[in-house]
Chain A
Amino acid sequence: MALLEIRNLHATVDGKSILNGVDLTIDAGEVHAIMGPNGSGKSTLSYVLAGRDGYVVTEGEVTYDGQDLLAMSIDQRAREGLFLAFQYPVEIPGVVGLTFLKTAANAVRRHRGESELDAMDFLKFVRDKAEALDISDDMLKRAVNEGFSGGEKKRMEILQMAVLEPRFAILDETDSGLDIDALKVVSDGVNAMRGPERGMLLITHYQRLLDYIVPDRVHVLAHGRIVKSGDKSLALELEAKGYSEFLDAAA
């Protein structure tokens, strides 16, 4: 059984139709990449999967681990193991990063029938993971993402993923705004999470990220549909030729 199965997904935002029949199947243990020009619906797809308000599914279905994903609330999806690394992580003044992480981790642990971690145990649990991502204690003690650089925000997203240990992770433009060193750190963090039980969907505009996180499959999204699929060589092809072929074809 596929971990995630998207069938004929249509969605609108503010009454405007953005997704026009997406079909995509991802098995556990696989990493897929979705590439596509700006405005093709990449981020919309990630928000629809995460359950964001205002993203209205008008047709189609999404099955996650055998369940109807679209029937679940945002937080339920997350507790069931779906994770979205945001393209633009949200700053939340007044909420300490570490407290936020612990609250989230314990919500997920409770759901899985695991014991909750107290502050001390949690700190131990999070420290190793944070260190690997070059995240200092000081960063954890600051308010969530407040005043963080683009790179720091992206590293915090990966830390959250590492802490929540999702079964399926969507990484939305995780490479944007990263210099080459940060890209390496983030990619190492993502690669460390790859495993036979976990699926991933990378959403990216550029091929660069895929040099570091090598996907099993690559799909091209244009005008709200997947117009081409292939292996990792498709990404290189796109890098060389650009997206114009797909834009023209649909125009």
Chain B
Amino acid sequence: MPDGSGHMQPFLDQALAGAKGASGAKAAGWLSDLRGRGAAIYGDHGLPSRRDEYWRYTNLNALTKSDYQLANGAPAIDVPPLPHRAVAELASYRIVFVNGHLRPDLCVLDDMPEGVLIAGLGDMIAAAPDRLQSVLGQNVDLNALPLAALNTAFMHDGMVLFVDDGVNIDKPVHLVSIAVPSDTPMMLQPRHLVVLGDGAKATLIESHIGGSGGAYFNNLVSELTLGERADLNHYTFQEEGPAAVHIAATALNLAAGASYGGFVLQSGGLIGRIETRAILSGPGADCRLDGIYLGTGSQVLDNTIYVEHAATGCRSRQVYKGVLDGRARGVFQGKILVRRGAQQTDGYQLSRTLLLSPRAEIDTRPELEIYADDVKCSHGATVGELDGEAMFYLMSRGIAYDAARRILVEAFVSEALSEIRLSQVAEDFSAHVRNWLGANIQLAAAE
């Protein structure tokens, strides 16, 4: 509904009700306060619109057109098999959510090593809220992320991953989110919390998949806190259903010497936005954010990054590659802020986009804001079409037009894939890229 100032505030009534206590359960005071604060900030701000500096290119009007209802408990429905075969066969701890709710029957969490906790947030709120109090909501700047504020008002379930100091998890953790849409538009408000202690090490794989049955809004927030020298490799597949709005906010905090490697493959949803806000708070932290996005039809795929260098000698690096076909739109916004005193900062950013159709579009917005004087920061952005000479060369060897296009697009993307350390993830990422190309390139040629 519009308020007096013209803000759109869908979900506000529900958020206020949600903040008062999810499903009527009695919540700890601090938790109600946190939810209430989320509701209040969202209420003040409303749904992000083009007037918001970092929402100029991604229009959320679609969210005001339907009456999205919070998904009720996980339905006892059959769940589609995971599309990621190599990862699915990988030995891992698996935690599965269906429509935003934990499905214990689908989880594989046996024999967790000492010093590792993987659990549902809902269970933790019920059983051990004290373990959450000092970390939940601590790293998210709700004023900068109005939809994270909305998520905060609702938060009731998600994944909690705690790794104690010095513990190296023996297997990757695989977080699977499955949306099974119905005729009623639904919204999911999952909240994930990852805390790695000093020197802890983990690999986290996220798969977000969804059916094609109807519209849904997956508004997720992840808070990732890495202690000193902690190390997290984090791989995300965003393959929501075709009518989905996927808005993911990740708040990342790296202590001294911590290392984070994030890699995102985004190709699902009608609108997909993956926003990462990383604070490099301790000296010598290292933060890599890489991604691939593949858009077609009238998809909008948005990658928004904010990296704050708040300590000396930190390194940050982003390499994003987009392939856009049809009338798809891509957005890349990357801001690097170097605080006063954050000397010996090393920042690098590259956004490369391949437009396969004359109607595809990319909005790129790199931004450097530097308040220290001993800093090495560079950024670059390229937008282009397939290389005509290379096309001629491939075709002159007997390779058909479509196949030549596929080869060149795959080559464009493969450079980014070579950064992936876990071979099963790399395998699934390339398989997904190949499938996408197989399904979409012929359409492009027929246009």
Residues of chain A whose beta carbon lies under 8 Å from any beta carbon of chain B: 50-53, 73-75, 77-79, 83-84, 86, 89-90, 92-95, 100, 103-104, 107-108, 111, 143-144, 160, 164
Q: Is B397 engaged at the interface, CB distance under 8 Å to the other chain?
A: yes
Q: A94-B414, A103-B399, A160-B397 are in contact. List 8 more A-B contacts (CB 8 A).
A: A77-B396, A92-B390, A92-B408, A93-B415, A94-B415, A95-B410, A100-B394, A143-B411
Contacts of B399 in A (CB 8 A): 75, 78, 103-104, 107
B394, B397, B399, B410: residue with the most chain A Cβ atoms closer than 10 Å: B397
Q: Is B63 engaged at the interface, CB distance under 8 Å to the other chain?
A: no
- Interface pair B400/A86, CB less than 8 Å apart: no
Query: How many Å lie between the Cα of A75 and that of B405 in the bound state?
Result: 13
Query: How many Å lie between the Cα of A78 and that of B392 in the bound state?
Result: 11
Interface residues of B in 46-72 (CB under 8 A from A): none
- Interface pair A94/B411, CB less than 8 Å apart: yes
Interface size on B, residues (CB 8 A): 23
Question: B394-422 toward A: CB 8 Å interface, digit per residue (1/0)?
Answer: 11111111011001101110110000000
- Interface pair B403/A103, CB less than 8 Å apart: yes
Contacts of A94 in B (CB 8 A): 410-412, 414-415
- Distance (whole angstroms) from the CB of A78 to the closest CB of chain B: 4
Pairs A–B under 8 Å by Cβ, sample size 24 = A50-B396, A52-B396, A73-B395, A74-B392, A74-B395, A74-B396, A78-B397, A83-B396, A84-B396, A90-B389, A90-B392, A92-B387, A93-B415, A94-B412, A94-B415, A95-B408, A95-B410, A100-B397, A100-B407, A104-B394, A104-B398, A107-B403, A108-B398, A164-B398
Partner of B411, one of A51, A95, A160: A95
- Interface pair B400/A53, CB less than 8 Å apart: no
Query: How many Å lie between the Cα of A53 and that of B414 in the bound state?
Result: 27
Contacts of B410 in A (CB 8 A): 94-95
- Interface pair A79/B398, CB less than 8 Å apart: yes
- Interface pair A75/B401, CB less than 8 Å apart: yes
Q: Is B388 engaged at the interface, CB distance under 8 Å to the other chain?
A: yes
Number of A-B contacts (CB under 8 A): 75
Query: How many Å lie between the Cα of A107 and that of B407 in the bound state?
Result: 14
Contacts of A143 in B (CB 8 A): 411
Given A53-B388, A107-B403, A90 contacting B397 (CB threshold 8 A)? no
Q: Is B371 engaged at the interface, CB distance under 8 Å to the other chain?
A: no
Q: Is B393 engaged at the interface, CB distance under 8 Å to the other chain?
A: yes
- Interface pair B415/A107, CB less than 8 Å apart: no
Query: How many Å lie between the Cα of A95 and that of B397 in the bound state?
Result: 14
Contacts of A160 in B (CB 8 A): 397
- Interface pair A89/B393, CB less than 8 Å apart: yes
Question: B11-51 toward A: CB 8 Å interface, digit per residue (1/0)?
Answer: 00000000000000000000000000000000000000000
- Interface pair B393/A90, CB less than 8 Å apart: yes
- Interface pair A78/B393, CB less than 8 Å apart: no
Query: How many Å lie between the Cα of A6 and that of B389 in the bound state?
Result: 25
- Interface pair B403/A90, CB less than 8 Å apart: no
Given A52-B392, A53-B388, A92 contacting B411 (CB threshold 8 A)? yes
Contacts of B415 in A (CB 8 A): 93-94
Contacts of B400 in A (CB 8 A): 75, 107
- Distance (whole angstroms) from the CB of B431 to the closest CB of chain A: 16
Partner of A78, one of B388, B395, B407, B412: B395
- Distance (whole angstroms) from the CB of B83 to the closest CB of chain A: 24
Of all chain B residues, the one with the shortest Cβ separation from A163 is B397
Contacts of B403 in A (CB 8 A): 103, 107
Query: How many Å lie between the Cα of A51 and that of B410 in the bound state?
Result: 25
- Interface pair B389/A75, CB less than 8 Å apart: no
Of all chain B residues, the one with the shortest Cβ separation from A108 is B398
The 6 A-B pairs with the shortest beta carbon distances in the complex, nearest first, are A94-B411, A104-B397, A78-B398, A90-B393, A74-B395, A107-B398
- Distance (whole angstroms) from the CB of B255 to the closest CB of chain A: 36
